[in-house]
Every structure is written in C-alpha cells, then in structure tokens.
Amino acid sequence: MELYHLSIEEARRVLDNGELSPVELANSLLDRIGALDDEICSYITVTKEKALEQARDAEKALKEGVRHPLLGIPLAIKDNICTKDIRTTCSSLILENFVPPYDSTAAKKLGEQGYVLTGKTNLDEFAMGSSTENAAFGRTKNPWDKARVPGGSSGGSAAAVASSQCLAALGSDTGGSIRQPAAFCGVVGLKPTYGRVSRYGLVAFASSLDQIGPITRSVRDSAIVMNAISGNDRNDSTSAEVDVPDFSSALGHDIKGMKFGIPREYFREGLDRGVEDAVAAAIKQLESLGAHPVEISLPHTEYAVAAYYILATSEASSNLARYDGVKYGLRVDGEDLSEMYRKTRESGFGAEVKRRIILGTYALSSGYYDAYYKKAQQVRTLVVQDFNKAFEDVDLIVTPTTPAPAFKAGDKTDDPLQMYLTDIFTISLNLAGVPGISIPCGFTSQDLPVGLQIIGKHFDEATVLKAAYAYEQATEWHKRKPEI
C-alpha cells in the first residue's frame, strides 16, 4: 500500500517501530499533493517547508523515545482555524494576506503532540456554504466525480482526506459543514458536542453553533483526533468543564441491546432513492449486530432550517463587523472612515457572505427583532426539547446525513434557498448542540458515497463512536477509495 493511504492507526505502528520515518511519510503526502491538487484544489496553502521541518523534529523525538498518538502524523487544517505564522484566509479576499500571530487551541494541541501540518484546506468563504464553490481562490472538486461538489463548507478537508492528501484533517461545523462534506466524499466526519472542543482561534461565523471536529478515513482515527483536541480551555468561556473520556477505549464493544431512534421526519418524500436504500440497509446491519431500531419523532425538524438561517446570519452579521480594514486584512481607501469601511467590505467579501450579512442585518434591525431573532430562538428551544424527549427512550438516533448525494457544481449556485436546504438533516444538531458523526454506508447507482448520521446525547461522543465503529467493522464501505 502507498504510504499516503495509511490510516493514523497504521502509520502510528510503523512510525513507532522504526519501519517508517516521519520525513518519508511527509514526503509521500507532499508528492501526492503535488500530483493531485492542481485539479482537486483541496488546499489553499500547502506548508511544505513547515511540514518537512516538523517531520524532522518528529523523527528526532521518536529516536529519543517520545511517543504521542499524533507524533509525525501529517494532518491538514481548515483555513478558518488560526495557525501561528501561517496564512489563514477563510477563503476570503478580505483575509488573503492575514497571518495569525497565535495558534488556535485545536492547532496548539496538535502541535503539542508533534503533528505534521501539510497545509490549510479550502472552504466556502467564512464557512458559509454547502459546496465549497463560494471560495475566493477556486472551487474544490469531489474526488469521486470531479464534476460534482465535495460538499461544504469543509469541502477542502473532506476532499483532501478522501483523496489521501493528508491522513486526517480538522474541519468546522456550524450547520453540517463537517458531516455533509464527509458524506459527499465517503469519509468519516464528527461534529462534537457544542463546548467539547475550544473555539479559540476558530474564525467566528455563528458563535453559538460553530464547533471544530475531525474528518478522517476511519472511526478509530476520529477517536484519536478527538482525544487530542477535546477539553476545557480558559481562552473559550463556552468550552465546557466536562471530563474528556478516552474515546479510543470506547471502541470495540458490542452494541447488543442498544436502542436506535429512527426519526420518521427524515424519511419523507424528496429523499434520494439511493440514499434511502443505503440507509435502510445500514439500519438492518445495525439490527443484525443486536441493536434495536425504534421509530421516533422529532416533530420540529422541518422548522430547523428556517430558524437556523435567522440565527446563523444574525450572528454572522455581528461577527463580521470586525472586518473594517483597520487592524488586519484588506483595506480599500476612501474619502472618510465610513467610505473606507464600505469599500473595504465591498471588495473583500464575496456574494454569499454579503447576502448573509444583509439577511442577518435585516433580522436584527429595529422593529424586526421579536418577529425573527426571538422567534427563531423560541423554535430552537422546541428543537432542543425534541432531542431531549427522544433521548429519554433511545441511546442514539440514526438518519441519513444528507437527503441526496453530491450534486453537480453550479447546480444550486443561483438559488441560495435550495443550497440551504441541502443541510436539512444536519442543521438541527447544531441548534441543539448535540454531537453527530457521518460515516460511509454505501453508494448510489451512480457510485456516489452515502453517509449515515449517528446522533448522540450531549457529551456522549463515546457512544456515537462506539456504534459507528461497530458498524464500520461489519462493513467494507470505508475501504473503497476514489479512482483519481
């Protein structure tokens, strides 16, 4: 097997026993990126020099007997997560030359383990989008079918993992931005519980919904990265003071007797036939492993997208006020301060970002607050209550990750509402703050990957990973690789 196809788990073994050097592994990935990425466009910045430097450091550490789960492991980071002294653009012209003077907590924690950074991955501008087409430096292609989108907004991370241009990657998920691209690219994507992973250094889109998480080629690798990045952080007051279990030790236990809720609202008309068949087969598979599927209801599911687009755009319009051309980022000169702001923001932001700022400004503007923002927060309460009630009876909830497989590039760019509705199955988890994983569960007749979403209780990623691992080990889907 080529080195770049190794999982973190496999690479760990050969790095630790000296059969493979971190420099050799880093070079294999860098060559792979050189050969593929002009076409796939999963990276905005490839950090070749940095990667080789970190790999040499890892080699030295290994020889000295140092051992960490991610020591010498080549990983990519979504380009809205700050990396010290490495350009972090958010796929926006307004941050084209922004070089953070500090590390995000997630990147810092990977650094403490001696990881190797391959580069910063592409995304929809400021993580606003579901296709990685709203990208200032070029759209990412789906490795399974290059005419199709990889999903978004973490499309660069998902495509890089699927095409073996890194061993794993970090993404961020505000309404499905880890899970939807993971589903479209046939890889594993986990959105942790809100508060599980520090958001310090994650460029804010919608602060009450954003969460960093891993995109990997296996469930075990997901657990390994979660072990590294989880935990309370004094720099993020919304990160939770909750103990972090060893996620790896949650794997490998049977799931006999576990109750899986199957929400009927996720299996209505409009669900793609290939997705429906694959998910139905996956539920049978879970049943054959001893789990009990139970039909449940999450009655407010159909309102989640509407509530989300009020809350997310309101928070975004406020968060993006900081891009004013004064302290960092693009500046376009104007006659006075106000004109400088307006011209800077006109030139620096792309169309989707402007659209969302306008929508959020509308929702928060005088006289509309109760009708929109407050109403959406009340509906959010109903969505939270749906999950709380469901989890009184079941251990986990199982759904398709998306209503359809990857769509063709350009198909939804003219109709924002249609684009927003592609996140219909992932958005309610962000509203409720609960964790969810997408794992490969089959292919449609056009050979496009299908994702199975497993949802857990707050801070119960361990049970989510346990069930995902049991399913993965009983199937072969995760072993298929795109022909590139």
Question: Interface residues for other proteins in 92-121 (CB under 8 A)?
Answer: 97-99, 101-102
Active-site option among 7, 78, 91, 130: 78
> Phi-psi bin for 435: left (phi > 0), alpha (psi -120 to 50), beta?
beta
**Of positions 137, 267, 328, 443, contacts other proteins by CB under 8 A:** 328
Active-site option among 92, 177, 198, 314: 177
Please enumerate in sequence order all residues whose Cβ is within 8 A of that of 190, keeping only pairs 6 or more positions apart, or say none.
178, 179, 213, 214, 222, 226, 435, 436, 437, 438, 461, 464, 465
Per rule CB under 8 A, is residue 310 in the interface with other proteins? yes
Q: What is the DSSP string of 357-411?
A: HHHHHHHHSTTTTIIIIIHHHHHHHHHHHHHHHHTTT-SEEEEESSSSSPPBTTS
Per the annotation, the verdict on 375 as an active-site residue is: no
Active-site option among 153, 154, 198, 248: 153
* Binding map of other proteins across residues 193-212, x = CB under 8 A, - = no contact: -xx------------x----
Residue 190 contacts residue 213 (beta carbons within 8 Å): yes
**Of positions 303, 404, 413, 473, contacts other proteins by CB under 8 A:** 303
Q: Is the peptide bond before 104 cis (omega within 30 degrees of 0)?
A: no
Q: Which is nearer to other proteins, 189 or 435 (CB)?
A: 435
**Of positions 170, 215, 278, 432, contacts other proteins by CB under 8 A:** 432
151-190 residues in contact with other proteins (CB under 8 A) are none
Shortest distance (Å) from residue 252 CB to other proteins: 30
**Of positions 372, 391, 471, 477, contacts other proteins by CB under 8 A:** 372
Give the span between the Cα atoms of 225 and 209, in whole angstroms. 21
Shortest distance (Å) from residue 151 CB to other proteins: 21
Total binding residues for other proteins by CB under 8 A? 72
Residue 172 contacts residue 143 (beta carbons within 8 Å): no
Binding region for other proteins (CB under 8 A) out of 17-25, 180-188, 271-279, 329-337: 329-337
Give the span between the Cα atoms of 466 and 245, in whole angstroms. 13
**Of positions 365, 389, 408, 479, contacts other proteins by CB under 8 A:** 365
Q: Of 181, 212, 234, which is closest to residue 440 (Cα–Cα)?
A: 181
Per rule CB under 8 A, is residue 411 in the interface with other proteins? no
* Binding map of other proteins across residues 376-395, x = CB under 8 A, - = no contact: xxxxxxx-x-----------
**Of positions 292, 342, 480, 481, contacts other proteins by CB under 8 A:** 342
Shortest distance (Å) from residue 115 CB to other proteins: 23
Q: Kindly list the distances between the CA atom of residue 450 and the CA atoms of 132, 277, 420, 461, in Å, as whole numbers in the listed order.
A: 18, 10, 19, 21
Shortest distance (Å) from residue 342 CB to other proteins: 4
Per the annotation, the verdict on 177 as an active-site residue is: yes
Shortest distance (Å) from residue 84 CB to other proteins: 10
Q: Which is nearer to other proteins, 36 or 379 (CB)?
A: 379
**Of positions 50, 56, 68, 375, contacts other proteins by CB under 8 A:** 375
Shortest distance (Å) from residue 22 CB to other proteins: 29
Residue 396 contacts residue 258 (beta carbons within 8 Å): yes
The three-class DSSP label of residue 215 is strand
Per the annotation, the verdict on 78 as an active-site residue is: yes
Q: Which is nearer to other proteins, 100 or 150 (CB)?
A: 100
The three-class DSSP label of residue 465 is helix
Shortest distance (Å) from residue 415 CB to other proteins: 8
Per rule CB under 8 A, is residue 243 in the interface with other proteins? no
**Of positions 14, 53, 361, 444, contacts other proteins by CB under 8 A:** 361
Angle at 181 between CA 176 and CA 184, to 5 degrees: 125
Binding region for other proteins (CB under 8 A) out of 19-27, 109-117, 152-160, 336-344: 336-344
Type and span of the H or E element at 317: helix 304-319
Binding region for other proteins (CB under 8 A) out of 7-15, 62-70, 126-134, 341-349: 341-349
Please enumerate in sequence order all residues whose Cβ is within 8 A of that of 121, keeping only pairs 6 or more positions apart, or say none.
42, 43, 44, 76, 77, 78, 79, 154, 156, 157, 160, 169
Shortest distance (Å) from residue 144 CB to other proteins: 30
Tokens of 476: 């072969």
453-472 residues in contact with other proteins (CB under 8 A) are 458
For the chain, helix, strand, coil in percent to 5 are 45, 15, 40
Core vs surface per residue 277-315: b (16+ CB within 10 A) or e:
ebbeebbebbeebebebeebebebbebbbebbbbbbbbb
**Of positions 203, 307, 394, 454, contacts other proteins by CB under 8 A:** 307
How would you classify the pairing of strands 449-455 and 396-400? antiparallel
**Of positions 35, 66, 147, 337, contacts other proteins by CB under 8 A:** 337
Catalytically active residues, by annotation: 78, 153, 177
